[in-house]
Amino acid sequence: MFLINELYPDQMIASVYTFDWEKAAKRYRGAIFDVDNTLVPHGAKEEEQTIQLFERLHGLGIQTMLVSNNGEGRVKPFADRLHTDYVHKAGKPKKRGYEQAIEKLGLQRGEILFVGDQIFTDIWGANRAGLFTILTEPVDPATDEIQIVVKRWLEKPFRRVKNKK
């Protein structure tokens, strides 16, 4: 039963771009993000709205971090444009990448939230690392690779429930 609970997010949102970050800033000092289909379509470069979001978060006093299973060639240029740190080849859902991000942020787990678009990598791993988890709708599911399409089909029952059991 415990494993099943680790697959449920603490909160579900439509988009990182419509989320109430001002309210979140009252409780959280750090935000960790997945990249592909959380912030931009799979494989896309940062967009102006992404840059503005990170500027807004930094202005609110929220430290940011990217945690991605992608290689450094994908993640570093993206992170550089957002003026944020990153962990690449994170091995999600393993805890290692999240632990590295927590250490880099220098915050307590209870001060950090995580946002991602996939349950079986992003949410499962962040829950295992003890973070507050937010599942967002994918930015553009049409850009998903085939293995992610299959995972999204398997995620459907978990997306129907709004809170952890």
How far is it, in rounded angstroms, from Cα 49 to Cα 153?
Answer: 29
pTM more than 0.85: yes
Tokens 């999240």 label which residue? 98
DSSP category for residue 8: S
How far is it, in rounded angstroms, from Cα 154 to Cα 41?
Answer: 20
How high is the pLDDT of residue 120? Answer: 86
How far is it, in rounded angstroms, from Cα 36 to Cα 71?
Answer: 12
How far is it, in rounded angstroms, from Cα 73 to Cα 86?
Answer: 12
3-state SS of 86-99?
EECCCCCCCCHHHH
Contact present, 111 and 32 (Cβ < 8 Å):
no
How high is the pLDDT of residue 87? Answer: 98
pLDDT in tens, the chain (165 residues): 456 778 889 999 999 999 999 999 999 999 999 999 999 998 888 889 999 999 999 999 999 999 999 999 999 999 999 999 999 999 999 999 999 999 999 999 999 999 999 888 999 999 999 999 999 988 765 565 666 655 665 676 666 665 544
One DSSP character per residue, 66-88 reads: EE-SS-HHHHHHHHHHHT-EEE-
How high is the pLDDT of residue 1? Answer: 43
* Tokens read off for 155: 């995620």
How far is it, in rounded angstroms, from Cα 162 to Cα 52?
Answer: 28
Direct distance between the N- and C-terminal alpha carbons of the chain, in angstroms, rounded to an integer: 10
SS3 100: helix
How high is the pLDDT of residue 154? Answer: 60
